[in-house]
Structure 1
Amino acid sequence: MAAISLDTVRETAPALVNLYKSAGVSLAQHGLDGQRAAVYLVVDHSGSMRPYYRDGSVQALADRVLGLSAHLDDDGRVPVVFFSTGIDAVTDIALAGHRGRIERIAAGLGHMGRTAYHLAMDAVIDHYLDSGATDPALVVFQTDGGPADKPAAERYLCKASRLPLFWQFIGFGDPDSRQFDFLRRLDELPVPGRRVVDNAGFFPAGEDPSKVSDAELYDRLVGEFPAWLAAARAAGVLPVTAAARTAPR
């Protein structure tokens, strides 16, 4: 059962109904129906991201993440971290009032700097720990390029593997760009050599992310989450629930 009902979504965010339904199909296909998780959205606010703010790609991603979150978390809100050289904002988006929310936030942020993954990761970790959450977290981390400080980003990801956080990176831009080589490397960092568990995934959404269908996007966003949940329980990062102990293998 979804955390938030279809009727509630119809009442509070009717424009997200189709996204909510599509997300539900993907979750069920991956055995995640009824799973609870905190959902975070991290968005790149560096200078090269201007076209994706202008054409609505970032807002569209935020709406899709809200549609997904409504199945996993019952508060109807998604914490959002905007990052560039530093942390530009830590705020949230909600089912109610979601239309144009990203554009309104971005309009007040000012200068678009460089790209510092590790600061954004630190902000998510702090928020999660401070929230007192007991459910795991799915962090949707959007960017259009590699970080300015690659060693720092790698260290943060490795240290974060001890926490109940799964990082799903999504790249906006040319899928063949060398800008995404680092993210591919993060995705393949050895376990247990560098990480307790494999706590990250990456996929490119292309130069026009709006062309990625809702079904495909949700499939990519949650596709690696079940394997991480199982590995995190086995490694003691997550508690083993009764449901997990009795689930068919």
Structure 2
Amino acid sequence: MAIDLRKIERTAPALVDLYKRAGASLRRHGLEGQRAAVYLVVDHSGSMRPYYRDGSVQALADRVLGLAAHLDDDGRVPVVFFSTGVDAVTVVELADHRGRVDRIAAGLGHMGRTNYHLAMDAVIDHHLDSGTTDPALVVFQTDGGPTSRLLAEKYVCKAARLPMFWQFVGFGDPGSHQFDFLRRLGELPVPARRPVDNTGFFHAGRDPRRVPDDVLYDRLVGRFPSWLAAARAQGVIRGTTPVRSDSLGT
């Protein structure tokens, strides 16, 4: 059940417009009333420094929080910061969202390289340990391709057995070949490599803050309904035993 608008007005008035726009997008895509655990994964590699400095990462966190308020009712979003390893697993909350990303990032220290699979592993563990029966929508932000494409692809394919949809969001030059890996993820064959297509990708450009809220929300949830239908048909959401991340292997 969605968080009531009046609670948003009391606890996070700056997110009221985002909450309303997220709700409109969910209705457009037939997702009103759908429950889902929402996760945010943010790139903390060295090349991301300008996007922390200009507020792009904070803006994405606020928008995801506005979306999560419709899909879940706890007013918080688990966030994984990653680079060479997992730099932090924490939360953003309605009542304390302002500047939250800056406060977290300030305590993380070195900004390393870009290992997708370790961040995926952390999200998978968190979701399984939570005990929830709801599917998950994972917003996975990055400004470049993975250090190990082989490991990232392996995790994408094996994680397809879990009730989790991975929506990748690119920051930076739209023409960069850094994003070729993410553009090709949709081509990984079903069912030869994975039971369902469990990924989406869109590019938010050099200044992600300028992407209109309506457009961003439509891109975040646009593929979620078709994944939900396919995952239910294949027993990924219902009638299957969850696979722990330590069984995914590397």
TM range (shorter): over 0.9
Superposition pairs for residues 1-249 of structure 1, below 5 Å?
A: 3-239=2-238
**AA partner of residue 103 (structure 2):** R
The whole-number CA distance in structure 2 between the counterparts of 1:187 and 1:232 is 15
For residues 222 and 103 of structure 1, the distance between their equivalents in structure 2, rounded to whole angstroms, comes to 26
| Residue identity in the other structure for 2:211 | V
Aligned mates of 2:219, 2:142 — CA distance in 1: 16
1:53-94 deviation line (CA, Å, top 9, x unaligned): 000000000000000000000000000000000000000000
Provide the C-alpha distance between the structure 1 equivalents of 2:143 and 2:222, rounded to a whole number of angstroms. Answer: 21
Supply the RMSD in Å over aligned alpha carbons.
Answer: 0.8
Q: How big is each residue's C-alpha offset from its partner over 1:75-125, in whole Å with a ceiling of 9 and x where there is no partner?
A: 000000000000000000000110000000000000000000000000000
Q: Describe the SS at the equivalent of 2:81.
A: strand
Which structure 2 segments of 5+ residues have no match?
240-250
Q: Distance in 2 between matches of 1:234 and 1:118?
A: 27
Give the distance between the partners of 1:166 and 1:136, measured in 2 at CA. 8
Question: Counterpart amino acid of 1:123?
Answer: A
Q: What TM-score, normalized to structure 2?
A: 0.95
Render the CA deviation track for 1:192-245: whole Å, top value 9, x for unaligned. 1111000000000000001100000000000000000000000000128xxxxx
Q: Distance in 1 between matches of 2:86 and 2:213?
A: 29
CA distance in 2 between counterparts of 1:102 and 1:59 reads 5
In structure 2, C-alpha distance between the alignment counterparts of 1:188 and 1:128, rounded to whole Å = 26
3-state secondary structure, aligned to 2:201: strand
Aligned residue identity for 1:151: L
The 2-side partners of 1:147 and 1:104 are apart by: 26
| Mapped partners of 1:148, 1:131: distance in 2 | 29
- Deviation for aligned residue 1:186: 1.4
Counterpart secondary structure, 1:78: strand
* Percent of residue pairs identical: 78
Instruction: Give the structure 1 partner of residue 246 of structure 2.
Output: none
User: What is the distance in 2 between the residues matched to 1:151 and 1:121?
Assistant: 14
Cα separation, 2, equivalents of 1:233 and 1:22 = 27
> In 1, Cα distance between the equivalents of 2:174 and 2:193?
26
Once residues 213 and 190 of structure 1 are traced to their aligned partners in structure 2, the CA distance between those partners, rounded to angstroms, is 33
Partners in 2 of 1:195 and 1:99 — Cα distance? Answer: 39
Aligned residues: 239
Q: Which residue identity does 1:214 align to in structure 2?
A: D
Structure 1 CA distance for aligned equivalents of residues 18 and 187 of structure 2: 30
Greater than 6 Å deviation, 4+ residue runs? none
For residue 189 of structure 1, report the CA deviation from its aligned partner. 1.0
Q: Secondary structure at the match of 1:31?
A: coil
Q: Secondary structure at the match of 2:39?
A: strand
